[in-house]
Structure 1
């Protein structure tokens, strides 16, 4: 038998193995397969934390709008509060950044860009910052002098200006007007501007016509997502930083895609190397002294890793846990070892909600791990 034939047979065997693995796993079709978890004291404790008595007049305390848990591809828990239900597209806030990273992952797999490409190659208004690369934006490490803050500093906030005042006509162009105050790639600074420049760069790569529907044709339709809406600024650029809306069930599909390393059924929708990049800590990350146990930035996702200079952010969850997080308590948590995906939509206003507490109780209820 020739070496070439042996290689072809080996490759065929791997394809058959991957196909059989995909068939053995549970994948959602038009809806999720459902097998509700057995009631328990651990589940009661989770619900007591996530759904306390709710005072809509004060907006204080933990205010969960939706909590959904997928285990090994099966819907095992779902509860809603207020006017929300299984069909409600909820504002994802900055979960949108991680969602857009998955859209970009499809484009990356199509060979449309490389992480080392200068941003200006794909978005000419960035020409005055020739050293900024696509990977820098994905790590929130562009070096732009950017102020990300809402309630605490609205008059000095770059993001408030971008979304609501002088930058709302063209969010990426507004971000591009900012000067650098650090060498690109050397400093983490969370920036919605970085995320919206990525969106404008994708538009340049694809052309206006293809870009218009690309999140749907590239990601949402292959995953069976039907509830998604994504707002655009006046220039037609998707506001990748902030304004995607999806139902909790549809957002969980993105979580399952990431839990299974970018694979959806028999199709490798996102390159495994892209998912690995999303889950790799930014090399030059330095914790904020005021938030020493904050989640660690990856490639537009947040990681639960311990670093030499900081403790594990969510100590009661596995270190392999990663998440997409958003303003006012939005969370998409992926726990690969436990094969869990947890979606939490919320309207938290006083920062009393704690990621670690929810994850600890969810693990006790759905993975049998006692707190």
Structure 2
């Protein structure tokens, strides 16, 4: 059985990041995200300087729903790693504190925390296999690895020298979640491990920015499934996106240090469009196909990307008043990979319209 954190019940009348009541449903500039070629869009919100200026739900969805993060959880995991780095408990360029890799002659002992965060650890991995059940990620998340996902992830051998190869890997982020947990507690009790992680997650990240609906999932060993599974409301995803600007809560509290935020937004040496578990709107994708929309001219934009078309984007732009503003654009839904490019392009058009 999965060990899950206690559920904090959120009100249907959620408060906005700015402290005001949620407005009536108004798609406004978000309308293109609900066109026929965007199926299936479930929810979207556009925030300007902490104030919601447009918000819309697909049929059957509302403030009462929590939405799955899928891989947007990776960015949350990276934020938490940064908290431990700022506390002096982890070091970015030191070998990752994984005891299983510290045996004499094990080349994995050279893998650094930075390389894990940059998806350049060099561990053998298949994120998307053909057929689908051949995916390492699917095996660990849904088939034979659910009782101890970190153990399966840590056991992978090297297939490349650490730091040389970019390979997107949900298992790598599970290793990061395990590092967080081991740093916080020596307990092997799944319930203690899960509760300790959850308390830290809320105290250092969610509570300061006003997030109340987040529901992180844990595996059977009490490791947070930090590469894939956190659930929260649309408004709370918007609040999370607000941290991507200056790392500050709405009241000005510094939640993510400027130094760590700069690292998250710095390109991985092996992939210009990827930072520290965060996507960057830059050209240079290794496969030649950008994950975002660098051609639309929004260089400040960074994004939390999730499976099936989940996006939390933050960018600088210009409002109707002609003055500079900071924006968060969130789109949640269930869109297959073959239909995802129209969704990405529509979001790019919206961002570009405010970035001019």
TM-score (norm 1): 0.79
CA contact (8 A) 1:329 1:348 kept: yes
Distance 2:215 2:333 in 1: 18
1:146/1:163 Cα in 2 relative to 1: closer, same or farther (>3 Å)? same
CA contact (8 A) 2:309 2:340 kept: yes
Alpha-carbon offset, residue 107 of structure 1? 2.2
**Deviation sequence 1:30-78 (CA, Å, 0-9, x none):** 5567699895xxx3xx51x32135xxxxxx8521100100011110010
CA contact (8 A) 1:34 1:74 kept: no
Alpha-carbon offset, residue 277 of structure 1? 0.6
Alpha-carbon offset, residue 306 of structure 1? 2.7
Q: Secondary structure at the match of 1:267?
A: coil
Say whether residues 1:324 and 2:316 are aligned partners.
no
**Deviation sequence 1:340-359 (CA, Å, 0-9, x none):** 10111011125323354223
Q: Say which of 226, 235, 249 aligns to 1:249.
A: 235
Provide the residue aligned with 1:125 in structure 2.
100
**Deviation sequence 1:302-350 (CA, Å, 0-9, x none):** 0011349868751114112110001100000111345110111011125
Distance 1:95 1:306 in 2: 21
TM-score (norm 2): 0.82
Distance 1:267 1:351 in 2: 41
CA contact (8 A) 2:26 2:56 kept: no
Structure 2, gaps ≥5 residues long: 1-15, 186-192, 318-324
CA contact (8 A) 1:257 1:264 kept: no
Q: How does 1:157-196 map to 2 (within 5 A)?
A: 157-196=135-174
Q: Secondary structure at the match of 2:127?
A: coil
CA contact (8 A) 1:50 1:63 kept: no
**Deviation sequence 1:186-210 (CA, Å, 0-9, x none):** 1100001110000000111111363
Structure 1, gaps ≥5 residues long: 1-26, 54-59, 287-295
Provide the residue aligned with 1:88 in structure 2.
65
Distance 1:133 1:202 in 2: 14
Q: Say which of 20, 31, 50 aligns to 2:33.
A: 50
1:124/1:212 Cα in 2 relative to 1: closer, same or farther (>3 Å)? farther
Provide the residue aligned with 1:77 in structure 2.
54
Q: Once superposed, what is the RMSD of the aligned Cα atoms?
A: 2.6
1:99/1:159 Cα in 2 relative to 1: closer, same or farther (>3 Å)? same
Alpha-carbon offset, residue 262 of structure 1? 4.3
Q: How does 1:11-22 map to 2 (within 5 A)?
A: none
CA contact (8 A) 2:80 2:201 kept: yes
Q: How many residues align?
A: 318
CA contact (8 A) 2:115 2:121 kept: yes
**Deviation sequence 1:219-240 (CA, Å, 0-9, x none):** 1111111110011000000000
Provide the residue aligned with 2:75 in structure 1.
98
Alpha-carbon offset, residue 155 of structure 1? 3.2
Q: Secondary structure at the match of 1:77?
A: strand
